[in-house]
């Protein structure tokens, strides 16, 4: 079978790899229907975060179950399924608390930019759709595997409530999905921080009521102007840099909350400022599995269409071009068809 292999920064290739098989009795093997490149893959591609050389890459997937191990009870061959970038048993104490990405038996999914994928802990990890989805629904279902679930978690972590004023820092695929999540959770005002016209348009289509193009201290000042000098109830941080974390913290009103889902790179919070801010912080790798059943229902009913973040679709053969397009910011997010 063919799958993407990371060789070095700037060098991802599609290669012939051994087909995955059921190893543990709780495993499933999927034939992927769609996969994609993540903003977090770019940290490796750009050489900012180390990644083991000559290793399979990719962690977002939807597919049809080909085979299951002897202990798999609920997932069946032929089902169309979605799972998160962490496999989880969905039964341990952390899973039951809603933090499946901290599952005591979690396994990071890698090698999903491929024709076949092995999913450990299949009963806990995978959620089947109500039936075979229409082709046009597949991109939306694929976002539930990571970016939409991560945007949703940002909104939940920042305690977005009906009527709230929300700021979203970051206009990548996760930031745009976070706008959609905030609107779905009833926010009255959603301020998207973006200076790119195509991303601004999508943010508006997803429910942003205001667009702010300023960044850093100027961005904070604009948000304060728009909120009677107080700041937003909830701020969704979807970048992970030092500047974006400070911008998020300083855009939040006393008693408000920051949900931070951008993987931190060099972010260093001033604890004393945090102390006096009265701002609550919660972040981390999103427990996407918690939100999958609800998000699948919303997607199936047509209430959410986050698949619009894919502005380029390529065959899996062109995985190298997909990385290049995202690296050069020619595409928000690239969908790959095996
Ligand atoms: Zn668990």
What pLDDT band is residue 101 in, cutting at 50, 70 and 90?
very high
What's the pTM?
0.97
In angstroms, what is the span from residue 286 Cα to ligand 1's centroid? 14
CA dist 240 to 23, 39, 196, 231, 311, Å? 36, 11, 19, 20, 23
**pLDDT category, 300, cuts 50, 70, 90?**
very high
Predicted pLDDT of residue 65: 98
Ligand 1: centre distance to CA 333 (Å): 30
Q: Ligand 1: distance of its center to the CA of 88 in Å?
A: 5
- Average pLDDT over every residue of 97-121: 98
Nearest to 175 by CA among 217, 245, 243, 237: 237
186 torsion bin: left (phi>0), alpha (psi -120 to 50), beta (else)? left
Angle, vertex CA 262, rays to CA 282 and CA 189, nearest 5: 70
Task: Kindly report which listed range (39-48, 144-153, 293-302) carries the lowest average pLDDT score.
Answer: 39-48
Per-chain residues with Cβ under 5 A from ion ligand 1: 88-89, 92, 95, 103
Cα separation, 283 vs 262, whole angstroms? 8
DSSP structure string for 39-107: HHHHHHHTTSS---TTEE----EEEEEEEE-TT--S--TT-EEE--SEE--S-SHHHHTT-GGG-TT-E
C-alpha 86 to ligand 1 mean position (Å)? 10
Q: What is the pLDDT of residues 103-112, one digit of tens each?
A: 999 999 999 9
Token pair belonging to 25: 């009795």
Helix (H, G, I), strand (E, B) or coil at 157: helix
Confidence of residue 151 (pLDDT cuts 50, 70, 90): very high
Q: Which of 84, 156, 157, 163 is nearest to 124 (CA)?
A: 84
How many Å apart are CA 322 and CA 313, to the nearest integer?
Answer: 8
> What's the rounded Cα separation, in Å, for the pair 221 and 227?
10
Question: What is the helix, strand, coil percentage profile of the chain, to 5?
Answer: 35, 25, 40
Distance separating alpha carbons of residues 210 and 189, to the nearest angstrom? 8
- Ligand 1 centre from 44 Cα, in Å? 27
Beta bridge partners of 108: 86
In terms of C-beta density within 10 A (0-12 exposed, 13-18 middle, 19 or more buried), how is residue 209 classed?
Answer: middle
Contact 235, 190 (CB under 8 A): no
- Rounded distance from Cα 173 to ligand 1 centre (Å): 27
CA of 100 to the centre of ligand 1 (A): 6
Give tens-digit pLDDT for 165-214.
999 999 999 999 999 999 999 999 999 999 999 999 999 999 999 999 99
For 61, phi then psi, to 5°, come to -160, 145
Interior CA angle at 120 toward 285 and 264, to 5°?
Answer: 15
**Residue 287: other Cβ atoms inside 10 A:** 26
The percentage of the chain sitting over the pLDDT mark of 70, rounded to a whole number, equals: 100
> What domains can you pick out in the chain, each with its CATH number?
2-146+287-337 (3.90.180.10), 148-283 (3.40.50.720)
Burial, 282: exposed, middle or buried (Cβ in 10 Å; 0-12, 13-18, 19+)? Answer: middle
SS3 136: helix
């Amino acid at each position: 079978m063919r799958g993407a292999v990371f060789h070095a920064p700037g060098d991802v290739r599609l290669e012939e790899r051994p087909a995955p098989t059921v190893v543990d009795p709780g495993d499933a093997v999927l034939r992927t229907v769609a996969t994609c490149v993540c903003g977090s893959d770019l940290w490796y591609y750009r050489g900012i975060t180390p990644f083991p050389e000559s290793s399979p890459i990719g962690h977002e997937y939807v597919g049809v179950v080909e085979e299951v191990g002897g202990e798999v009870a609920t997932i069946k061959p032929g089902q169309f399924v979605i799972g998160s970038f962490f496999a989880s048993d969905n039964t341990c104490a952390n899973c039951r608390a809603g933090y499946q990405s901290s599952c005591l038996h979690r396994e990071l999914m890698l090698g999903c930019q491929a024709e076949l994928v092995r999913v450990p802990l299949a009963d806990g990890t995978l959620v089947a759709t109500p039936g075979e989805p229409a082709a046009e629904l597949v991109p939306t279902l694929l976002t539930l595997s990571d970016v939409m679930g991560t945007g949703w978690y940002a909104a939940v972590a920042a305690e977005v409530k009906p009527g709230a004023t929300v700021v979203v820092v970051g206009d990548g695929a996760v930031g745009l999905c976070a706008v959609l999540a905030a609107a779905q959770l009833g926010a009255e005002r959603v301020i998207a921080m973006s200076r790119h016209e195509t991303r601004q348009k999508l943010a508006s289509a997803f429910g942003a009521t205001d667009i702010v193009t300023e960044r850093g201290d100027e961005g904070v000042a604009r948000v304060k102007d728009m909120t009677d000098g107080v700041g937003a109830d909830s701020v969704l941080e979807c970048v992970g840099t030092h500047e974006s974390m400070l911008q998020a913290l300083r855009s939040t009103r006393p008693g408000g909350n920051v949900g931070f889902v951008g993987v931190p790179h060099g972010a260093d919070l001033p604890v004393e400022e945090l102390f006096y801010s009265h701002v609550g912080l919660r972040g981390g790798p999103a427990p996407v599995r918690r939100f999958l059943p609800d998000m699948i229902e919303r997607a199936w009913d047509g209430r959410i269409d986050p698949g619009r973040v894919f502005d380029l679709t390529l065959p899996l053969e062109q995985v190298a071009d997909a990385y290049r397009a995202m690296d050069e910011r020619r595409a928000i997010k690239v969908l790959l068809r095996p």
